[in-house]
Amino acid sequence: MQISRLYDRKQVTLGRIAMAKAACTANCREVAAMARNVMGGNGILLQNLAIKTMMDIEAIHTYEGSYEINMMVAGREMTGLSAIR
């Protein structure tokens, strides 16, 4: 929500966007894995959607830019030092 507000005010930065993308995909992956795990063996059946959700978030995690790259972009903004050469 805060990123949207900053975007509307033309105050959002690439580092903040990268941090939000990294945090959202990491949290989503954790929740999807937890849901699959809670369901036990049924969690791998497509009819229960837990495994489909896990695979979907893996694709999203990849095309949004990997967690590590997004964290490097955010870190560069925070520290002024680039880990990417």
Domain spans in the chain, listed from the N-terminal domain onward:
2-79
Check residue 29 and give its pLDDT. Answer: 92
Rounded (10°) CA dihedral 62, 64, 66, 67:
-130
Centre a 10 Å sphere on the Cβ of residue 85 and count the other Cβ atoms it contains: 3
Check residue 16 and give its pLDDT. Answer: 92
Check residue 64 and give its pLDDT. Answer: 67
**Angle, to 10 degrees, between the axis of helix 67-79 and the axis of helix 14-38?**
140
Residue that has been written with the tokens 């941090």 in this structure: 19
Check residue 32 and give its pLDDT. Answer: 94
Check residue 34 and give its pLDDT. Answer: 95
Check residue 8 and give its pLDDT. Answer: 96
pTM of the entire predicted model = 0.75
Residue numbers of the chain with a pLDDT score lower than 50: none
Superfamily of domain 2-79: Butyryl-CoA Dehydrogenase, subunit A, domain 3 (1.20.140.10)
Distance of alpha carbon 51 from alpha carbon 53, whole angstroms: 5
